[in-house]
Structure 1
Amino acid sequence: MLPRLKSALLLWVLGLQGCSLAPAYTVPQLALPAHYREQADAGAWHPAHPADQHSAHWWWVYQDARLNALQQQLLDANPDLAAALAHVDAAQAYASQLHAGLFPQLTASAQPLRERQSDSRPLRGTTQPSVYNSNTAGFALNLDLDLWGKIRNQVAAGDAQAQASADDLAVARLSLQRQLTCLYVQLDGLDAQQRIVSRSLQDYSQALQLTRARYLGQIASEVDLTRAQTQLAQAQAQLDEVRGQRNLTEHAIGELVGEPASTFELAAREQTLSPPEQPDTLPGALLQRRPDIAAAERRVFAANAQIGVAKAAWYPDFSLSGLIGGQTGGAGNLLAAGNRFWALGPLVNLPIFDGGRLNAQARQAKAEFEEASASYRSTVLHAVREVEDNLAQLRDLRQQRLDEQAAANAAHNTQTLATRSYEAGAVSYLEVVTAQTAALQAQRQVQALRTRQLQASVALLTSLGGGWRAQ
């Protein structure tokens, strides 16, 4: 009967090895729209698959070799990325520490001592020496049976937190790449603004020469001359402002790529970036594709596992311990049969009274799960809003730029007509100044809208997790 009882007990213990007190995990539910409102044909929403990762080089759609080189420099030298990578390494190391709890812990010890016992030691024999040697060496084994899944849930939570840290690294990388691309687009726009104002300066300079000649010939008034001088000075001030903004943008790019602003320099170019072609439909698989959503989901999973850890603390903790070694009084063989010692047996710990500590830990674990779930839902809602915002902004900016281009064309024609009329003496120079000011403002506004359109495309690419399509 006793062997059967032992077998049944062994099977019971082995069965409990697969036990877990953590609630069954499900991703927090959120009522998502059927599709993007700005793109009704984008397809239904659905969770992404593990293979649906964002593009590692999503900025390639701008087809700019210098931007590609700066992005690589960002990955190699940005200190914020280095700090985030170190944080991931620390999280993975902590997860490895938790994994060690699943295995037996074996330690070796050796302790050669020379001791003196007190003359007043209780129960000391009269023949016992005051000074003696005590040499001990042995091995100790400890194995937590983890019947209630406490250690396994700790491991699961640690692995999930490590995965969330890796996703946080991806969030930091994507954010820095977005900042760099937006700054580069802004720099490109400022170069274009500088070209526009410089061309206007040439026109204003020629207009001033014409007006001065007419003034000296007593055809134009001194008021016309001062207006031409004012117009030229104001355009020069605008050029100075654009150059100042470009310097600040260039310094910010240098910081991102890990170079001091004092030595970093990007030459101005004549070439201008073009907004990328946006596909007619966008991937609906947003969930778990964006790294911030993936990180939030992993933290929900970790919090769910911690509930199992808190519940397991209420149950008896069974562990198996063993000890084997040898001890001598300073002479003799430690491995001799008479000098050996050993111990083997189970250890059970059961909480009886803890002042409400375990109950408070269980409430804390549940509250942290609710917090993580709410944070996950908030992250998803924010992601959907970002996509919708950028889709709407791209649509509106595209139309606004077309309208502004029509205004710029009309302003340019007005400027040409006003200049010819002034040369013919039909109008005052005030008409020319007004037309020139309107034309310059319209041209700069068209370029500003182009820059905003490019930045909105960057925002849309990153709000989708990086890229138009799942890779």
Structure 2
Amino acid sequence: MTLSILGRLALAAAPLALAACAVGAPPPSVPAAVPAGWQAPLPHGASVADLAHWWQRMDDPLLVELIAAAQEVSPSMAQARSRLAQARASQVAARAALWPALDAQATARRGLDTQQGGLNTVAQGTLQASWEVDLFGGNAAQGEAAAQRLAGARAQWHEARVSVAAEVALATSEWRQCRQLQAVAQADAQSRGETARLARLSEQAGFTAPATAALAQASQAEGQARAVQQRLQCEVALKGLVALTGWDEPVLRERLSAQPAQEAPDALFAVGALPAQVLAQRPDLYSAEREVAAASAEVGSARAQRYPRLVLSGTVGAGWLSMGGQQQGANAWALGPATLSLPLFDGGRRAAQVDAAQARYDEAVALYRARVRQAVSEVEQALVRLQGAAERSADAARAAQGYHTAYLAAEARWRGGLASLMELEEVRRSALAAQTAVVNLRQERMAAWVALYRAAGGGWDADAPGPDAAPLPVAARATP
């Protein structure tokens, strides 16, 4: 009986539901200015397919482990996963408004009948069905907005994965660069210490003036202070990496010390030649575009609230009566009422809701276009930095080699009494600066690759599976 009534309600309203559509919604997609080509040169020698997991090409298994560990404990990924679950629940709730609602009620009463001299029992059960026919597509528009936001939330989860991978790769590279600078500073401090020792012996023998020996001692102190400062910076960087990955510090320190630093190859990955291809791989732009579509649907939903509403209802009831040893039962059903409501006056509330929805749509459009411009700028900047680091690498290496050769020659002349300590210290500073520049340039190049990885969207595509298809973190897996 109940199914029959609901079927009649559905058949009666089917033509109206098929004709329903959101009224007056602005366009769900808007154009954004994208350049025809990149102004900066593109890296060559790699595949675009390497973009998604470029760190696996570096022959660095520890980095792969660190990125996986950080993605499991990342609060940003947990937040993105939570927002995705909320968006999925919102979509279910929005879709539910398109279907009939069914409620059940049951009552029972037992009492004494003084006239009949016995106990009476009355029981009744009722099913109530109601359905708001979506005449002007308001509810359907809300469902569409929820679906668009669900797609955007799934893209944001991928964006969080890309950000975590980039952050860990950059932090690991910075720690290794810091250790290389620490080795350079330690070697420089030892060299300055040896110079100070020889100057002190020469002073004691009367061959060196006290001022010259004092200069050597000051140079030694400066080198030791620089080495200590560099060591402290490495310790700070290590503790930051511990916070990112969630590893125990002794374990992480041991693994990092056992894994030699790997210099990044000349080409880690390639990006598309057309800016539109690269921007299509940006999950943040996809999410912003979905927000425009969601805001458009909400404008249509707000405008639909200003039009008539039709609600169909029906009931099915069954009753049972026991009185004086006799039992009786009865069933009843009713189709209706059908309620048509027309808003006449609300003090401008619905009009204000339309204006607010339109303002949110305009904001979403402006943010989307601004993010497109920012994305183009990020890719261009990363390409410029990458090209600049590549062009300076050979010159920096030649400069370091030349200054080192000059330092060895100056030290030999100083030991033979043919050069002053001032000359030796000047050449030493130049050699130290050149060696430091080589190490910093390697880090700058690696940072440019990481920035390009983030700017290119990390190899994401709209069909990539979300966290509902991904394995759970270790902490969330069921124990056997």
Secondary structure of 1:325's aligned partner = strand
Residue 456 of structure 1 deviates from its aligned partner by 1.1
Q: Please say if residues 307 and 365 of structure 1, whose CA atoms lie closer than 8 Å, have aligned partners that are also in contact.
A: yes
- 1:292-371 map, 5 Å: 292-327=284-319, 331=323, 339-345=330-336, 346-371=338-363
Change (3 A) 1:254 1:281: closer
Q: Report if aligned partners of 2:23, 2:136 keep a CA contact under 8 Å in 1.
A: yes
Instruction: Tell me, in whole angstroms, the C-alpha distance in 1 between the residues paired with 2:374 and 2:243.
Output: 28
| SS of aligned partner of 1:394 | helix
Q: Relative to structure 2, which stretch is displaced further, 29-38 or 94-103?
A: 94-103
Q: Distance in 1 between matches of 2:110 and 2:279?
A: 67
CA distance in 2, matches of 1:172, 1:26: 25
- Between 461-470 and 249-258, report the one with greater CA deviation: 461-470
RMSD: 3.3
Q: Does 1:137 align with 2:110?
A: no
Q: Aligned to 2:79, which of 76, 83, 92?
A: 83
For residue 311 of structure 1, report the CA deviation from its aligned partner. 1.7
| SS at 2:35 equivalent | coil
Matches of 1:177 and 1:220, distance apart in 2: 57
In 2 relative to 1, CA 440–155 (structure 1 residues): closer, same or farther, beyond 3 Å?
same
CA positional deviation for 1:334: 13
Aligned: 1:464 with 2:427:
no
Compared CA separation, residues 332 and 447, structure 1 to 2 (3 A): farther
Q: CA deviation at 1:277?
A: 0.9
Q: Is the 8 A contact 2:321 2:328 kept in 1?
A: no
Corresponding residue of 1:413: 405
Cα distance in 2 for partners of 1:33, 1:76 equals 37
- Partner AA of 2:261 in structure 1: Q
Give a deviation string over 1:214-267, Cα, whole Å, max 9, x none. Answer: 333322232332222222221111111111111111111111113466885354
Partner amino acid, structure 2, of 1:85 = R
CA distance in 1, matches of 2:220, 2:97: 77
Partner of 1:231: 219
Equivalent residue number for residue 166 of structure 1: 154
Q: Does 1:146 align with 2:127?
A: no
The alignment partner of 1:166 has SS state of: helix
The one-letter code of the counterpart of 1:343 is A
SS in 2 for 1:155: helix
2:61 counterpart (65, 68, 73): 65
User: Percent same amino acid at aligned positions?
Assistant: 27
Residue in structure 2 matched with residue 291 of structure 1 by the alignment: 283
Q: 2:442 aligns with which of 433, 439, 450?
A: 450
2:87 alignment partner AA: A
Q: Which residue of 2 aligns with 1:5?
A: none
Picking from 19, 39, 47, the partner of 1:16 is 19
- The one-letter code sitting in structure 1 at the alignment partner of 2:22 is S
Which structure 2 segments of 5+ residues have no match?
Answer: 1-10, 465-480
* 1:121 match: none
Match of 1:190 among 174, 178, 181: 178
Residue 447 of structure 1, CA deviation: 0.8
Give the C-alpha shift of residue 39 in structure 1: 3.1
Q: What is the aligned length?
A: 442
1:436 maps onto 2:439 in alignment: no
403-412 or 368-377, which deviates more:
403-412
1:429 positional shift: 1.2
Please report how far the alpha carbon of residue 403 of structure 1 lies from its aligned counterpart in structure 2 after TM superposition: 3.2
**Could you tell me which residue of structure 2 aligns to residue 120 of structure 1?**
none
Instruction: Go from structure 1 to structure 2 and tell me whether the alpha carbon gap of 1:328 and 1:251 turns closer, same or farther (over 3 Å shift).
Output: same
Distance apart, 1:55 and its partner CA: 4.9
Contact conserved, 1:279 with 1:468, CA < 8 A, in 2? no
1:1-39 alpha-carbon deviations (Å, 9 max, x no partner): xxxxxxx9878535424x332536452112211111113
* 1:150-188 CA distance string (max 9 Å, x none): 121111111111121222222222222211111111011
- The answer on whether the counterparts of 1:227 and 1:433 sit within 8 Å (CA) in structure 2 is no
Structure 1 gaps, min length 5: 1-7, 43-51, 117-126
Taking structure 2 as the reference length, the TM-score comes to: 0.83
CA distance in structure 2 between the aligned counterparts of 1:10 and 1:419, rounded to whole angstroms: 97
In 2, the alpha carbon distance for the partners of 1:224 and 1:333 equals: 124
Helix, strand or coil at the partner of 1:322: strand
Give 1:74 shift.
Answer: 1.1
Does residue 36 (structure 1) correspond to residue 38 (structure 2)? The answer is yes
Task: Evaluate the alpha carbon distance shift between residue 114 and residue 235 of structure 1 in structure 2; reply closer, same or farther with a 3 A threshold.
Answer: farther
Higher mean C-alpha deviation, range 326-335 or range 230-239: 326-335
Alpha-carbon distance between aligned partners in 2 of 1:154 and 1:136, rounded to the nearest angstrom: 37
TM-score normalized by the length of structure 1: 0.84
2:4 is matched with: none
1:260/1:319 CA distance change after superposition, 3 Å: farther
Change over 3 Å in CA distance of 1:158–1:14 after alignment to 2: closer
**Greater displacement, 192-201 / 62-71:** 192-201
Query: Structure 2: how far apart are the matches of 1:335 and 1:115?
Result: 15
2: distance between equivalents of 1:55 and 1:218?
66
Displacement, 1:114?
6.0
CA–CA distance in 1 between the matches of 2:99 and 2:292?
Answer: 27
